[in-house]
Amino acid sequence: MRKIQILGTGCAKCRQLAANAEAAIKGLGIEAQIEKVDKIQDIMRFGVMVTPALAVDGEVKSAGKVLSPEEIKKLLA
């Protein structure tokens, strides 16, 4: 099972990124766990300075923008 982490403090962009990640998972028909990382210390451990960010299986794939469901699908495929 893939692990997708949304890094952000809960702003509107972070919530949108989480929703887009859920849509991408459903669209691909894969099993994945979405985890929200909202503590600044935890976000900084990823080396992320700009949120929202998206990590897949512990590796940061995007920071500072809201990826579309289609962009997330490409990262997961």
Active site residues: 11, 14
Can you tell me the distance from the alpha carbon of 65 to that of 77, in angstroms, rounded to the nearest whole number? Answer: 20
Q: Decide if 8 contacts 53 (C-beta within 8 A).
A: yes
Phi-psi region of 2 (alpha: psi -120 to 50; beta: other; left: phi over 0): beta
